[in-house]
Amino acid sequence: MTRVCIDLTANEIIDRFGGIGRYGYLLLESMVSLPAAERAGIELCALEDSAGSVIGAEQALEKAVLSRRTLPLRRHRWQRRLVTGKSLVNGRVDLFHAVQPLALPLWPRAKVLATCHDLIPVVFPRQGSALKSNWIVLRETAVWGLRMRRVDHILAISEQTATDLSSRLGIARSKISVVHHGVDAKLFHPRADPVAARRKFDLPERWFVSVGSDHYRKNHRALFEAWCNAGPDIPEGLVVVGKALYESTLQELNAKVVQLGLQHRFRWLDNVDDTDLPGLYCGATAAIAPSLYEGFGMTLLEAMACGTPVAAARNGAYEEVGGDAAIYFDGRSVSALETTLRQLSGDAQERERLSQAGRRQASEMTWERTARQTLEVYRRVAETKPPCTP
């Protein structure tokens, strides 16, 4: 019997239950829900406190950590490095699944599998002077290379991420397994109420939705400019859902829509609850994903599961996730994005095709499938790899 500990410690920091924290819980929940025969040879447990004890899977799914005070990020990372290893030893853990590879535990006496979601600092660093950008890439390549070589095996969430690991860090493909995320079909479905969402957020009658923060790679400026160009000719407003990381960006966008007289059709919604997202998707003419780099494309799957047509920038991961169920554009071209918005606004037949194709695509990418494939990775790592050393 291999005792596998799922890392849920991301939920003790300020961004608790963000994407990585949610990934850990959904994965554990899905594995626990599988028939016992499919979990044969694997005993699941979890760690939700970086300085605490290993607990049972069922206890972890009570999510008690979400009601506790958050830890400062620095303290969280040092505890993961210096204390978590002792917890794994005391918990007789054979394999530790770190759901993100930062601050890996020292001396765990267990094999370590780390999920790599993307390589943003290496592949798409913040743009500045050529000298500064090159320095960032060199530094992050060295740091991430050392980090990834410490683990016994890497679970990449897409072929795009696996390719980046190999081409940018020189990691052997034999050390990488690709397992896609699933979509939470209990939350994202076409039966959500768009009328309630429209009333709650005071939305225009028709809208495009884009989900994601204003992180520089998300490319919201290009989307905003394309929508401003097309706005006078189409009925759709623009609704952006995500954290506004840079107040100056939001102020600039608001000033521009006022200048153009489009303020009643533009909304930037910060801190939206997950339960409100399906209604925002279901009521949208289409979901637009303009990001220039991603390790996956969770928002594509969420929209597709809601039956919302999807248009996405070509960035590798999006094509992998969306397949033939989305239309794609050059994210660096405002005119290409504008053409896409006009096309989706005026072509009801194309929207219906995308809606049906998207629902089929999302139905195949389930957390149940993710859980099964992850369990197989656990078995392979437990059988073939020696314990990692710091």
Structure tokens, 62: 């009570």
Measured distance CA(4)–CA(376) in Å, rounded:
12
At 245, the pLDDT band (50, 70, 90 cuts) reads low
**Residues ≥6 apart with Cβ < 8 Å to 206:** 235, 236, 237, 285
At 132, the pLDDT band (50, 70, 90 cuts) reads confident
Measured distance CA(337)–CA(222) in Å, rounded:
8
Q: Is the pLDDT of residue 340 over 90?
A: yes
Q: Quick one: average pLDDT of 320-340?
A: 97
Grouping H, G, I as helix, E, B as strand and the rest as coil, residue 152 is coil
The pLDDT of residue 387 is 46
Q: Which carries the bigger pLDDT value, residue 26 or residue 213?
A: 26
Q: Quick one: average pLDDT of 342-354?
A: 97
> How does pLDDT run across 358-385, given as a tens digit for each residue?
999 999 999 999 999 999 999 999 987 5
Percent of the chain residues topping a pLDDT of 90 = 80
Q: Is the pLDDT of residue 218 over 80?
A: yes
**Residues ≥6 apart with Cβ < 8 Å to 334:** 222, 225, 226, 229
At 390, the pLDDT band (50, 70, 90 cuts) reads very low
Q: Tell me what the pLDDT averaged over the chain comes to.
A: 92
The pLDDT of residue 270 is 85
Q: Quick one: average pLDDT of 74-81?
A: 94
**Residues ≥6 apart with Cβ < 8 Å to 247:** none
Q: Quick one: average pLDDT of 50-78?
A: 93
> How does pLDDT run across 81-116, given as a tens digit for each residue?
999 999 999 999 999 999 999 999 999 999 999 999
C-beta separation of 155 from 20 below 8 A: no
Helix pair 334-346, 348-364: axis angle to 10 deg:
100
The pLDDT of residue 133 is 80
DSSP E strand stretches across the chain:
2-7, 42-47, 55-56, 95-98, 111-116, 153-156, 176-178, 207-211, 237-241, 266-269, 286-289, 310-313, 327-329
Rg of the chain over Cα atoms, rounded to whole angstroms, equals 22
> How does pLDDT run across 150-192, given as a tens digit for each residue?
999 999 999 999 999 999 999 999 999 999 999 999 999 999 9
At 134, the pLDDT band (50, 70, 90 cuts) reads confident
Q: Is the pLDDT of residue 389 over 60?
A: no
Q: Is the pLDDT of residue 265 over 60?
A: yes
The pLDDT of residue 247 is 65
The pLDDT of residue 248 is 67
> How does pLDDT run across 13-59, given as a tens digit for each residue?
887 777 888 899 999 999 999 999 999 999 999 999 999 999 999 99
Structure tokens, 285: 């003419």
DSSP assignment of 29-71 = HHHHHS-GGGGTTEEEEEE-STTS--EEHHHHTT-GGGGSPPB
